[in-house]
Structure 1
């Protein structure tokens, strides 16, 4: 496929985000989403160049992070393949919104100071597609610029469904038993098409794209199951404990798989 051609969005993903799931609420509707949001912000603030750097928020969905970054003074362009997400993001009016795909960005070479891929890579099942998206990020970021990509951990569905006590559903239990074979989610689980990464697979994806070895961080951290359970939904002390545990876990790589999402960061070669 020519680099200027826009790849097709998987129809299951298009239907899920257009008709079945309200992504705009996900990072605020409960403590589970808020933990992911606040911890991601903390990690990004460590890594991003100062404002008004130019940021491409690729697969930025309805614009939660783009709006936050624009408020901080960054020059943000959000790119997403789902029309509904682009419409919702455009309502902020504080950043540029474009329809597009992570695998074929329209941005010129070396035109951004940072590229965020906080959603696309776990919706790309094929390794070649993930490598293509990472190479596109490397192409459009300036030399030395930041590339930050989020992944869903291989163990996340087990931890999440166990915490919510849904693991007692025999059908879901059977689906979870297949994850270790390939890491590909079955939409019958209630989530859409997705790939759940092991730590080594994340590194493999970056190597396949000829990018520098990434640094990895657990986003939600080791108290993720407690927050996911909903049992401490209105407990600010439990929420703060989860954030603090996630920060401490940065110094313990063996805890990477304990959380829900992982963030991989690297820089384009100079």
Structure 2
């Protein structure tokens, strides 16, 4: 939510689209703030739960849909478009391009678009340093250490520059790439990890001040690529 308010030019008339809304954590929160929100998810059960969770909120519109073909949504419709899950699960370059192009299509000129993605390096550290490194390396990297993307992966991760390069030639203007959770996921894997509420708040404030620094990006499991439609 911090990054949405920080980088999106919002007012109470703003129309927001979340693709990959799941059960509505962000969409419902934004609707409660007064924004007109369309929440799209591929999974019918998620939409059912979202509808139940958002009962009585008139300015949220749950919708079953696919990030690669948002056929029920018109061109230039939204002030802010958020793709906060689909890029974790799209492995074929053609589908990745379709999801990017659809997000751009439905966003108004000058509107903000946010794409969440996973750092392959932080993902490997967090999930495979606990005794499963060999399998994790094989799943995420080729023998000559290029990043792998294939359908059998539960999640697919990116080198930061690799993800940014997906937007070459797109009708967008780059704003920033920022980390979201820093190294906290890897830290939590340690049996010795503990942090007081006070220290956590201090860490959060510190991280938000530095989350866009290039040298820190790869340590964040989740990242946001933020751009503006031309």
TM-score, normalised on structure 1? 0.74
- Residue of structure 1 equivalent to 2:149: 184
Conserved? CA contact 2:40–2:63, under 8 Å: yes
- Residue of structure 2 equivalent to 1:108: 74
Closer/same/farther in 2, CA of residues 251 and 261 from structure 1, 3 Å limit: closer
Structure (1/2) with the larger helix percentage:
1
- Residue of structure 2 equivalent to 1:44: 4
Residues 21-100 of structure 1 aligned to structure 2 (within 5 Å): 41-48=1-8, 49-91=10-52, 92-93=54-55, 94=57, 95-100=60-65
- Residue of structure 2 equivalent to 1:202: 163
SS of residue in 1 equivalent to 2:118 = strand
Conserved? CA contact 1:146–1:268, under 8 Å: yes
Q: Which runs of 5+ in 1 are unaligned?
A: 1-40
CA-based RMSD: 2.1
Q: CA separation in 1, counterparts of 2:109 and 2:171?
A: 14
Q: CA separation in 1, counterparts of 2:154 and 2:15?
A: 31
Closer/same/farther in 2, CA of residues 240 and 55 from structure 1, 3 Å limit: same
Q: 1:154 aligns with which of 120, 125, 142?
A: 120
Conserved? CA contact 1:158–1:167, under 8 Å: no
The alpha-carbon deviation at position 104 of structure 1 amounts to 0.7
- The number of aligned residues is 219
SS of residue in 2 equivalent to 1:247 = helix
TM-score, normalised on structure 2? 0.86
Q: Which runs of 5+ in 2 are unaligned?
A: none
Conserved? CA contact 1:207–1:213, under 8 Å: no
Conserved? CA contact 2:122–2:183, under 8 Å: no
Structure (1/2) with the larger strand percentage:
2
Residues 97-176 of structure 1 aligned to structure 2 (within 5 Å): 97-105=62-70, 106-161=72-127, 167-168=130-131, 172-176=132-136
Conserved? CA contact 1:102–1:120, under 8 Å: yes
Q: CA separation in 1, counterparts of 2:77 and 2:21?
A: 18
